[in-house]
Amino acid sequence: MATPYDAMWEQLNLDLDAHAGLLQVLGKFYGDIYLSQSGRLKGMEYVDFVISEIHGLRIKELQEAKAQGKKVIGTFCIFVPEEIVLAADAIQVGLCAGAEAGTDAAEKVLPRNTCALIKSFVGFKLSKLCPFIESCDLVVGETTCDGKKKAYEIFADYAPVYVMEIPQMKNACDRQLWRTEVLRFKDQIEKVTGNEITAAKLRQAIHLVNDRRRVLQRLGQLRASDPAPISGRDALLINQIGFYDDPARFTQNIGKLCDELDERVKTKSGIAPEKTPRLMLSGCPMAIPNWKLPYVVESSGAVIVGEESCVGARNNRDLVDETGASLDELIDALIDRYMRIDCACFTPNQERLDNVVTMAKDLKADGVIHYGLSFCQPYAIEAFKVEGALKKAEIPMLSIETDYGMEDVEQLKTRVEAFVEMVR
């Protein structure tokens, strides 16, 4: 069926038939997993609208901004400092794809035993399925895990790629390396945009991104109440679209949604009865439209109360100090904040173990599901340590490894149901 965006998608060189097929599948998936929920918040209408227009209106906005000279920067990791991009009057969009479409194309250039997230972003590019990637003036990769690091070398044959080096430890010399990298990134962004980053511009950008983090922190805290006022699926979706939508618009709308949640908390009304088993997810990021595990968990008699993940608390936990007077001071504040990220690519990574336990306690979680994407070594190996830390706190954990395929849904359901019964 023709849409008002066909000409735009054609101009972006998308494979129109494959793209139409993808949108159709996603629409059905979204209806089954999201629109079928009862007791949803009125504020989710904004989220549903963003999703319905994610390849339409949002891309049109990006194209209009580009026509006025703005640049679009795509990223795959929460290590890339968005504040630098915004301070140069550019737009940043998250590209981490969470869909299986494109896997066949990806497997022509990547080993099959590569994590689904990597195969997804490479596959989306090779199959011409993603209007975000096609809108980017620069795609920023990073040296986190080996899979991503090496995949960017292949990706660079198809798109303009810039790679940031991310330290793997947190000693003084690592901070120095990160400082050099942030400054190198600033130079690159200034070159691509033609705009100079000043202290005033950077302060403004820090404030904008901090505001988005603050509203997501507020959402996270509201989920500590029992009965849970919002489903884990909806909360994950909010975190996911935070990577795509305009930051100010997102913050304003999610602020209103949190007001609604405040009311629910006051009146003790929730999306599931009080004492429903409360589970927290921890581990690999769930990029849009990866909703498989949350759906399985919430159709197994439990409610998800938090995500210890980059599409969740890891992205929002820490703010950047806004008080720096000079550009140098503000950049130092950025460096400090980003060095606190507790990705499993770091060694050792005691901070993450502490954060998982604190978060599970704060959210009154009855158990934690550790989520690893198949072939993701950093998170799979760290799961052992996470389990040990949770055990000491007497919080049970279930470790799950899966990908984006639907073949294992029944098997996952059996394991999750048994875990829910155990924590009940």
- For ligand BJ8, the closer CB: 342 or 366: 342
Neighbours of 66 (CB within 10 A): 15
Nearer to ligand BJ8, 62 or 118 (CB): 118
Helix 199-222 × helix 232-241 angle, to 10°: 170
**Taking the complex as a whole, how short is the minimal distance between the CB of residue 374 and ligand BJ8, in angstroms?**
9
Specify which residues 107 forms β-bridges with.
Answer: none
CB closer to ligand BJ8 out of 228 and 284: 284
Residue 276 CA from chain centroid, whole number = 26
| C-beta of 241 vs 345, nearer to ligand BJ8 | 345
Identify the CA nearest to 304 among candidates 239, 380, 366: 366
User: CA 153, CA 132: separation in Å to the nearest integer?
Assistant: 20
Stretch that binds ligand BJ8, among 140-148, 214-222, 325-333, 356-364 (CB under 6 A): 140-148
Decide whether 272 or 343 has the Cβ nearer to ligand BJ8. Answer: 343
Site for ligand BJ8 in 144-163 (CB under 6 A): 144-145, 147-148
Q: Which two tokens stand for residue 394?
A: 């007497």
Q: Cβ atoms within 10 A of the Cβ of 348, count?
A: 11
Site for ligand BJ8 in 277-296 (CB under 6 A): 284-285
Q: Of 115-123, 169-177, 182-190, 316-324, which segment contacts ligand BJ8 by CB under 6 A? A: 115-123
Nearer to ligand BJ8, 188 or 374 (CB): 374
By CB atoms closer than 10 A (0-12, 13-18, 19+), residue 257 is buried
Dihedral (CA of 372, 373, 374, 378) sign: negative
Of 146, 411, 144, nearest in space to 296 by CA: 411
Helix, strand, coil: what percent of the chain each, to 5?
Answer: 55, 10, 35
Q: Which stretch binds ligand BJ8 (CB under 6 A): 100-108, 113-121, 167-175, 196-204?
A: 113-121
The binding track of 36-75 with respect to ligand BJ8, each residue x by CB under 6 A or -, is ----------------------------------------
In terms of CB distance, is 144 or 282 closer to ligand BJ8?
144
Minimum Å gap between C-beta 27 and ligand BJ8 is: 26
Q: Which is nearer to ligand BJ8, 209 or 373 (CB)?
A: 373
Question: Which range in 251-259, 340-348, 349-357, 399-407 contacts ligand BJ8 by CB under 6 A?
Answer: 340-348
353 lies in the site for ligand BJ8, by CB under 6 A: no
Q: Judged by CB under 6 A, how many residues of this single chain contact ligand BJ8?
A: 20
> Cβ atoms within 10 A of the Cβ of 326, count?
10
Binding ligand BJ8 (rule: CB under 6 A), the pick from 373, 386, 395, 398 is 373
140 touches ligand BJ8 (CB under 6 A): no
CA 4 to chain centroid, in Å, comes to: 29
What backbone torsions phi and psi does residue 369 show, to the nearest 5 degrees?
-105, 120
Least separation in angstroms between CB 384 and ligand BJ8: 15
Alpha-helical segments (H) within 285-408:
292-298, 313-316, 327-339, 350-362, 377-392
Query: Closest CB to ligand BJ8 among 366 and 403?
Result: 403
Site for ligand BJ8 contains 378 (CB under 6 A): yes
Please report how close the Cβ of residue 135 comes to ligand BJ8 at its closest, in angstroms.
21
Q: How far apart are the C-alpha atoms of 293 and 269, rounded to whole Å?
A: 25
- CB-side exposure of 388: number of CA atoms within 13 Å? 8
Site pattern 225..264 for ligand BJ8 (x: CB under 6 A): ----------------------------------------
Residue 323, judged by CB atoms within 10 A of its CB (0-12, 13-18, 19+), counts as: exposed
Question: Residue 73: phi, psi to the nearest 5?
Answer: -115, 125
Q: How far is CA 207 from CA 14, 128, 201, 244, 255, in A?
A: 36, 35, 10, 18, 16
Contacting residue, 47, 333, 345, 360, with ligand BJ8 by CB under 6 A: 345
The amino acid at residue 94 is G
Residues of this chain, 302-331, that bind ligand BJ8 according to CB under 6 A: 310
Q: Helix H segments across 127-246? A: 131-135, 146-155, 172-193, 199-222, 232-241
Stretch that binds ligand BJ8, among 29-37, 49-57, 236-244, 376-384 (CB under 6 A): 376-384
Among 34, 79, 132, 419, binds ligand BJ8 (CB under 6 A): 79
Interacting residue ranges for ligand BJ8, rule: CB under 6 A = 77-79, 115, 117-118, 144-145, 147-148, 284-285, 310, 341, 343, 345, 373, 376, 378-379
